[in-house]
Amino acid sequence: MDPFQLLKSRLTGILDELAEAGALPHGLDHGRVNVEPPRDTGHGDVATNAAMVLAKPAGMKPRDLAEVIAGKFTGFDDVAAAEVAGPGFINLRLAPAFWQARIGDILEAGTAYGDSRLGAGRKVNVEYVSANPTGPLHVGHGRGAVVGDALAALLAKAGFEVTREYYINDAGAQVEALARSLHFRYWEALGLQVGEMPEGMYPGDYLIPVAEKLAERDRSDWPADPAKKRVLGESILLEQFRGFAVDAMMGMIREDLAALGITFDRFSSERALVEAGGVDKVLADLENRNLVYTGTLDPPKGKEPDDWEPRPQLLFRASDFGDDVDRPLRKSDGSWTYFATDMAYHFDKHARGYRDMIDVWGADHGGYVKRMQAAVNALTAGDGTLDVKLCQMVNLMEDGEPVKMSKRAGTFVTLRDVIDEVGKDAVRFIMLTRKNDARLDFDLKKVLEQSRDNPVFYVQYSHARCHSVLRHAAEMFPDEDFSPAALTGADFGLLADEAELDLIKSMAGWPRVVEGAAEAHEPHRIAYYLLDVAGLFHALWTKGTREDASLRFLNEQDLGLTRARLALVRGLALVIASGLEVMGVAPVEEMR
Question: What percent of the chain clears pLDDT 70, i.e. is strictly above it?
Answer: 95
Looking at the fold, whether 474 and 436 belong to one and the same domain comes out as no
Looking at the fold, whether 412 and 550 belong to one and the same domain comes out as no
CATH number for the domain including 70? 3.30.1360.70
| β 440-443/394-398 pair status | parallel
**What backbone torsions phi and psi does residue 23 show, to the nearest 5 degrees?**
-80, -20
Looking at the fold, whether 466 and 433 belong to one and the same domain comes out as no
Looking at the fold, whether 185 and 202 belong to one and the same domain comes out as yes
Q: How many helices and strands (H and E) does the chain possess?
A: 21, 15
Report how far residue 258's alpha carbon sits from residue 148's, in angstroms, rounded to the nearest whole number: 14
Quote the pLDDT of residue 333.
85
- What stretch of H or E contains 91? strand 89-94
Looking at the fold, whether 80 and 155 belong to one and the same domain comes out as no
Q: Do residues 95 and 80 lie in contact, with contact meaning Cβ atoms separated by under 8 Å? A: yes
Report how far residue 323's alpha carbon sits from residue 326's, in angstroms, rounded to the nearest whole number: 7
User: Residue 178 to residues 174, 268, 270: CA-CA distances in angstroms?
Assistant: 6, 19, 16
How much is the CA Rg of the chain, to the nearest whole Å? 30
Q: How many CA atoms lie within 13 A of 165 on its CB side?
A: 21
Q: Do residues 62 and 45 lie in contact, with contact meaning Cβ atoms separated by under 8 Å? A: no
Q: What is the pLDDT of residues 390-412, one digit of tens each?
A: 999 999 999 888 988 776 666 78
Containing domain of residue 528, as a range? 451-583
Looking at the fold, whether 251 and 265 belong to one and the same domain comes out as yes
Looking at the fold, whether 63 and 194 belong to one and the same domain comes out as no
Q: In the structure, what pLDDT confidence band is assigned to residue 39 with cuts at 50, 70 and 90?
A: confident
Nearby residues of 564 by Cβ (< 8 Å), 6 or more positions away: 490, 491, 492, 493, 494, 495
Residue 293 in any domain: the answer is no
Residue 549 in any domain: the answer is yes
Domain count, the chain: 3
Residue 112 in any domain: the answer is no
CATH number for the domain including 511? 1.10.730.10
**What backbone torsions phi and psi does residue 127 show, to the nearest 5 degrees?**
-105, 125
Looking at the fold, whether 139 and 258 belong to one and the same domain comes out as yes
Residue 66 in any domain: the answer is yes
Residue 554 in any domain: the answer is yes
Residue 320 in any domain: the answer is no
pLDDT at 10 over 50: yes
pLDDT at 441 over 80: yes
Cα first-last separation, the chain: 35
- What stretch of H or E contains 164? strand 161-168
Residue 189 in any domain: the answer is yes
Nearby residues of 368 by Cβ (< 8 Å), 6 or more positions away: 361
Nearby residues of 417 by Cβ (< 8 Å), 6 or more positions away: 406, 408
Q: What is the pLDDT of residues 488-523, one digit of tens each?
A: 999 999 999 999 999 999 999 999 999 999 999 999
Which segment, 23-27, 216-220, 379-383, is predicted with the most confidence on average? Answer: 379-383
Looking at the fold, whether 408 and 556 belong to one and the same domain comes out as no
Rounded mean pLDDT, 169-182: 92
Rounded mean pLDDT, 115-120: 97
Looking at the fold, whether 19 and 56 belong to one and the same domain comes out as yes
What length does the chain have? 592
Looking at the fold, whether 538 and 576 belong to one and the same domain comes out as yes
Q: How many CB atoms lie within 10 A of CB 272?
A: 12
Quote the pLDDT of residue 220.
54
Quote the pLDDT of residue 231.
38
Last residue of a domain, one of 94, 119, 140: 94
Residue 332 in any domain: the answer is no
Report how far residue 35's alpha carbon sits from residue 50's, in angstroms, rounded to the nearest whole number: 8
Q: In the structure, what pLDDT confidence band is assigned to residue 547 with cuts at 50, 70 and 90?
A: very high
Looking at the fold, whether 457 and 411 belong to one and the same domain comes out as no
